[in-house]
Chains A and B, each alone.
Chain A
Amino acid sequence: MTAATLFIIIPAHNEESKIQDVIRQAQEYSQNIIVVDDGSRDSTAAKAKELRVIVLRHNVNLGKGAALRTGCDYAIQSGADNLIVLDGDGQHDPQEIPRFLEALSQGEIVFGYRRKPESMPFVLKLGNWCINNIFYLLFRINIKDSQCGYRAFTAEAYKKVRWEASDYYMETEMLIKAGKHKLSHSQVPIETIYADNYKGTTVLDGVKIVTSLFLWRFFR
Chain B
Amino acid sequence: MSTTFWIQFLGIVFGLAMMYFTFVKFKRKELSNFEMMFWFAGWIILVLVAVIPSIIDFIIAPLHFYRRLDFFVVLGFFVLLGLGFYNYSIVKKVEKKIRTFVQNEALRQHEQEKNEQQKQQEIR
Q: Which residues of A contact B (CB under 8 A)?
A: 36, 54-60, 62, 66, 69-70, 73-74, 166
- Extra 15 A-B pairs, beta carbons < 8 Å, given A56-B109, A62-B102: A36-B106, A55-B110, A56-B110, A57-B106, A57-B109, A57-B110, A58-B103, A58-B106, A60-B98, A62-B98, A62-B99, A70-B103, A70-B107, A73-B103, A74-B110
Q: Which residues of B contact A (CB under 8 A)?
A: 95, 98-99, 102-103, 105-107, 109-110
Contact B102 A58 (CB under 8 A): yes
Q: Tell me the bound Cα distance from A33 to B20 in angstroms.
A: 57
Chain A residues in 8 Å Cβ range of B107: 56, 70, 73-74
* Closest B residue to A60 using CB positions: B102
CB distance from B22 to the nearest CB of A (A): 31
Chain B residues in 8 Å Cβ range of A36: 106
CB pairs A–B below 8 angstroms (24 shown): A36-B106, A54-B110, A55-B110, A56-B107, A56-B109, A57-B106, A57-B109, A57-B110, A58-B102, A58-B103, A58-B105, A58-B106, A59-B102, A59-B105, A59-B106, A60-B102, A62-B102, A62-B103, A66-B99, A69-B103, A70-B103, A70-B106, A74-B110, A166-B95
CB distance from B109 to the nearest CB of A (A): 6
Counted as pairs of residues, one from A and one from B, with CB atoms less than 8 Å apart, the total is 36
Q: Tell me the bound Cα distance from A62 to B110 in angstroms.
A: 18
Chain B residues in 8 Å Cβ range of A60: 98, 102
Chain B residues in 8 Å Cβ range of A62: 98-99, 102-103
* Closest B residue to A77 using CB positions: B107
Q: Tell me the bound Cα distance from A69 to B109 in angstroms.
A: 16
* Closest A residue to B110 using CB positions: A56
Q: Tell me the bound Cα distance from A62 to B107 in angstroms.
A: 15
Top 4 closest pairs, chain A to chain B, by CB = A56-B106, A70-B103, A58-B102, A56-B110
CB distance from B81 to the nearest CB of A (A): 19
Chain B residues in 8 Å Cβ range of A70: 103, 106-107
CB distance from A151 to the nearest CB of B (A): 20
Q: Tell me the bound Cα distance from A220 to B103 in angstroms.
A: 26
Q: Tell me the bound Cα distance from A193 to B113 in angstroms.
A: 34
- Which of A54, A58, A69 counts the most B-chain CB atoms under 10 A from its CB? A58
